[in-house]
Amino acid sequence: MRRRDTSQPKYRLHRASGQAVVTLAGKDHYLAKYGTKSRRIFYDRRVDEYAPPLLADRFPVRKL
């Protein structure tokens, strides 16, 4: 039986568009321009939508 992955999803640079992208549930979600503060806001929203309830306490969403 596979061990459940409990790591927080990482965002990365999409080189062609220059945007930050994160993969959640097998789908790519484009956030905002890579390296900006607004990218973090979009990232927190997306992870909060997809994060299982068990991980919510372990990886709290930062409020800006």
Query: pLDDT of 1-43, one tens digit each?
Result: 666 666 778 889 999 999 999 988 788 999 989 989 998 888 8
pTM of the model: 0.65
Higher pLDDT, 15 or 50: 15
Cα–Cα distance between 39 and 11 in angstroms, integer?
A: 9
Of 3, 1, 8, 2, whose CA–CA distance to 51 is shortest? 8
Residue-level pLDDT at 8: 78
Q: What element of type H or E holds 28?
A: strand 27-33
Cα–Cα distance between 11 and 32 in angstroms, integer?
A: 11
Residue-level pLDDT at 57: 57
The token duo for 20 is: 């930050």
